Amino acid sequence: MSAKNLKKVAFFHSHLFWVPHFETDLELINNFQSQNIDIISYVCNHNLRRCDVNINNKFQSCIRCILKRKNGLSLLNKKVKEIPLNLSKRDFKRKIPNSINEFKSLYYLNYDIGISILSSLISIFRDSNISFSRYFTILNEMFETGIELYEFFIKSLKEEKPDLVFIFNGRFCYTRALLRACEALNIEYITHERGSSFSKYMLFENSMPHDLNNFQKLVNEYWDNNYNFKVKKSVAVKFFESRKKGLDLDWFSFVKNQNPNELPPTFDSKNYNLCIFLSSEDEFLAIDDTWKRPFFKSQIEGVKFILDILRNNFNYYIFIRCHPNSAADENLMLELELLKTEKTTIINADSVISSYKLLQSINKAIVFGSTIGVEACYFGIPCINLDNSFYNELDVTYNPKSIEEIKDLLHDVSLKPKEKIGAYKYGCYVSSFGFEYKFYKPLNLGTGKIKNIDVLNMSSIKMFIKNMFSFKKVKID
């Protein structure tokens, strides 16, 4: 939709402590206000009983969140129309589901509330095996609040009639409520996320950032429409080499604390060495059916299958590298230890052993959708991918279609690495996509300023006093 056709645009300020997503809201609002487009902002004044940034419903956190929002909105050149969330309390009696799949299937009209709640909780607690009995109260409260919020958005969107709605990410419980409300009412929406670096943000029209087909479409379009091959290749090479060095690009590097030259003490180049690089499961486990795992219910199940298939291949040695972002997942380590054999080495999430040194030293890599799959292609290592990924259609990994094909690929000691062109496409796009901030001035991944003011600096007494007068007008339910 062209900006010249827009009269009113809506925002939902949902994750204020997750920099730079509220700051992205402010960036976009400033852009629209400069074109005299009306803005409405959906705001929470302690209306949500639990949320992704305050799951324990601490009142002090609500105060800080409200003050940050008010401070940020005050930095705009024009006031926006704030619409507080007005939820009608409802009492839902829910039976605890028997399985994660049963909970995933919970819908309210077109709102896939079950899977969106799981997406929130898995990210908050870094736990891919959500216990329904342990989180019963939270699950129920978020279920009730999610439906109340969805109904509020339906009613308010009908009344306000915005031409366009902006939503952060869209995979979480409450942001998904707004996304599905927009779809139910045929209202255009755009989700926003981080860009290729901390200086950029990205927009996705009528889709979530995790839309596999849309991502691969954007990768190919960027490759086809920008620069010449030499320039594009150099951009991609810089991306992969920067990741290897542990530089913070679009997010904090997970390998910066690893020793770039260290291999496991059990590594022997005389063996046929494989490494299973495990993924961080929290983001992609609960999005939608397009991310449904093709073979195994979990990575652990996949690891067990691989070890069973290769158990009698005496020349094989298998390393299992836990993702550095899974250091808090104690259950993962316990389950892996039960699978360990004399021909297996488990590398802990916090180990200083270099993932990239290991990758470049092995004969074959096996991944469950992680970025190291496309990196294996760049470094000339054959790689088998056993899960969905953003690079599935870029021909950078072997993507088996059946269990038998997995077995054949595992046994194939002559497996060749894929051509690097797909890796170049991926690296070029991922290191370049997004729009540069102008109103918001990011300093690094976690901080930035607007008009020389740090929006998140809640310890400033001056800012606190400034907001106290207007805060008295905020209704706290």
- Please report which confidence band the pLDDT of residue 252 belongs to, taking 50, 70 and 90 as the band edges: low
| Residue 416 clears pLDDT 90, i.e. is over it | yes
CATH number for 57: 3.40.50
Q: In this structure, are strands 344-347 and 316-321 parallel, antiparallel, or unpaired? A: parallel
Strand order in the sheet with 344-347: 344-347, 316-321, 272-277, 364-367, 383-385
| Residue 34 clears pLDDT 70, i.e. is over it | yes
CB 236 within 8 A of CB 221: no
Which pLDDT tens digit goes with each residue over 127-156? Answer: 767 777 788 889 888 999 999 999 999 999
For residue 141, CA distances in Å to 18, 57, 110 come to 22, 11, 20
- Please report which confidence band the pLDDT of residue 466 belongs to, taking 50, 70 and 90 as the band edges: low
User: Within this chain, do residues 329 and 357 fall inside the same structural domain, yes or no?
Assistant: yes
User: What domain range is 258 assigned to?
Assistant: 227-430
Contacts of 420 (CB under 8 A, 6+ apart): 377, 378, 380
User: Within this chain, do residues 345 and 246 fall inside the same structural domain, yes or no?
Assistant: yes
- Residue 219, domain member (yes or no): no
Specify the pLDDT at position 8: 98
| Residue 1 clears pLDDT 60, i.e. is over it | no
The number of angstroms, rounded, from the C-alpha of 429 to the middle of its chain's C-alpha atoms is: 17
Select from 57, 66, 63, 178 the least CA-distant residue to 124: 57
- Please report which confidence band the pLDDT of residue 96 belongs to, taking 50, 70 and 90 as the band edges: low
Max mean pLDDT range (102-116, 184-198, 299-313)? 184-198
- Residue 476, domain member (yes or no): no
Find the helix or strand (DSSP H, E) in which 384 lies.
strand 383-385
Phi, psi of 165 (to 5 degrees): -125, 135
CB 424 within 8 A of CB 375: no
**Which amino acid belongs to residue 240?**
F
* Tokens standing for residue 83: 């619409």
CA–CA distance, 361 with 15 (Å, rounded to integer): 41
Overall number of domains in the chain:
2
**pLDDT: is 446 or 413 the higher one?**
413
72-81, 265-274, 322-331: range with lowest mean pLDDT: 322-331
Specify the pLDDT at position 248: 57
User: Within this chain, do residues 101 and 239 fall inside the same structural domain, yes or no?
Assistant: no
- How many Cα neighbours within 13 Å face the side chain of 277? 26
CATH number for 306: 3.40.50.2000
- Please report which confidence band the pLDDT of residue 453 belongs to, taking 50, 70 and 90 as the band edges: confident
Specify the pLDDT at position 461: 33
Q: In this structure, are strands 188-194 and 200-205 parallel, antiparallel, or unpaired? A: antiparallel
SS3 (DSSP) at 190 = strand
**pLDDT: is 27 or 247 the higher one?**
27
| Residue 410 clears pLDDT 60, i.e. is over it | yes
User: Within this chain, do residues 165 and 261 fall inside the same structural domain, yes or no?
Assistant: no
CA–CA distance, 27 with 20 (Å, rounded to integer): 10
User: Within this chain, do residues 458 and 419 fall inside the same structural domain, yes or no?
Assistant: no
**pLDDT: is 49 or 108 the higher one?**
108
- Please report which confidence band the pLDDT of residue 359 belongs to, taking 50, 70 and 90 as the band edges: very high
291-295, 389-393, 422-426: range with lowest mean pLDDT: 291-295
CA–CA distance, 409 with 367 (Å, rounded to integer): 13
1-15, 47-61, 179-193, 414-428: range with lowest mean pLDDT: 1-15
User: Within this chain, do residues 300 and 442 fall inside the same structural domain, yes or no?
Assistant: no
Determine what percent of the chain is predicted with pLDDT higher than 90: 59
CA–CA distance, 102 with 98 (Å, rounded to integer): 7
SS3 (DSSP) at 256 = coil
SS3 (DSSP) at 354 = coil
Specify the pLDDT at position 475: 44
CA–CA distance, 444 with 221 (Å, rounded to integer): 29
For residue 154, CA distances in Å to 147, 159, 207, 365 come to 11, 9, 19, 48
CB 369 within 8 A of CB 279: yes
- Residue 62, domain member (yes or no): yes
Select from 287, 69, 89, 83 the least CA-distant residue to 179: 287
Which pLDDT tens digit goes with each residue over 360-407? Answer: 999 999 999 889 999 999 999 999 999 988 899 999 999 999 999 999
Determine what percent of the chain is predicted with pLDDT higher than 70: 87
Which pLDDT tens digit goes with each residue over 216-246? Answer: 899 999 999 877 899 999 999 999 998 888 6
**Which DSSP letter does residue 353 get?**
B
**pLDDT: is 40 or 59 the higher one?**
40
User: Within this chain, do residues 175 and 283 fall inside the same structural domain, yes or no?
Assistant: no
- Residue 477, domain member (yes or no): no
User: Within this chain, do residues 208 and 355 fall inside the same structural domain, yes or no?
Assistant: no
Write the DSSP assignment of 443-475 as a string of letters.
-SSS-EEETTB-TT-TT-HHHHHHHHHHHTTS-
CB 423 within 8 A of CB 378: yes
| Residue 294 clears pLDDT 90, i.e. is over it | no
Specify the pLDDT at position 329: 64
User: Within this chain, do residues 425 and 439 fall inside the same structural domain, yes or no?
Assistant: no
- Residue 260, domain member (yes or no): yes
Write the DSSP assignment of 11-33 as a string of letters.
EE---TTSTTHHHHHHHHHHHHH
Specify the pLDDT at position 457: 61
**Which amino acid belongs to residue 14?**
S
Which pLDDT tens digit goes with each residue over 200-219? Answer: 999 999 999 988 888 989 99
CA–CA distance, 373 with 378 (Å, rounded to integer): 9
pTM of the complete model = 0.85
- Residue 288, domain member (yes or no): yes
Specify the pLDDT at position 253: 55
**Which amino acid belongs to residue 312?**
N
* Tokens standing for residue 207: 């889709």
**Which DSSP letter does residue 49 get?**
S
Phi, psi of 282 (to 5 degrees): -65, -30
> What's the chain's average pLDDT?
87
- Please report which confidence band the pLDDT of residue 292 belongs to, taking 50, 70 and 90 as the band edges: confident
SS3 (DSSP) at 389 = coil
Q: What is the mean pLDDT of residues 258-265?
A: 85
Q: What is the mean pLDDT of residues 431-459?
A: 85
User: Within this chain, do residues 209 and 171 fall inside the same structural domain, yes or no?
Assistant: yes
User: Within this chain, do residues 167 and 91 fall inside the same structural domain, yes or no?
Assistant: yes
Write the DSSP assignment of 197-212 as a string of letters.
STTEEEEEETS-TT-H
User: Within this chain, do residues 332 and 390 fall inside the same structural domain, yes or no?
Assistant: yes
| Residue 24 clears pLDDT 80, i.e. is over it | yes
| Residue 249 clears pLDDT 80, i.e. is over it | no
- Residue 221, domain member (yes or no): no
CB 263 within 8 A of CB 469: no
Give counts: helices (H), strands (E), the chain.
15, 14
- Residue 150, domain member (yes or no): yes
| Residue 473 clears pLDDT 70, i.e. is over it | no
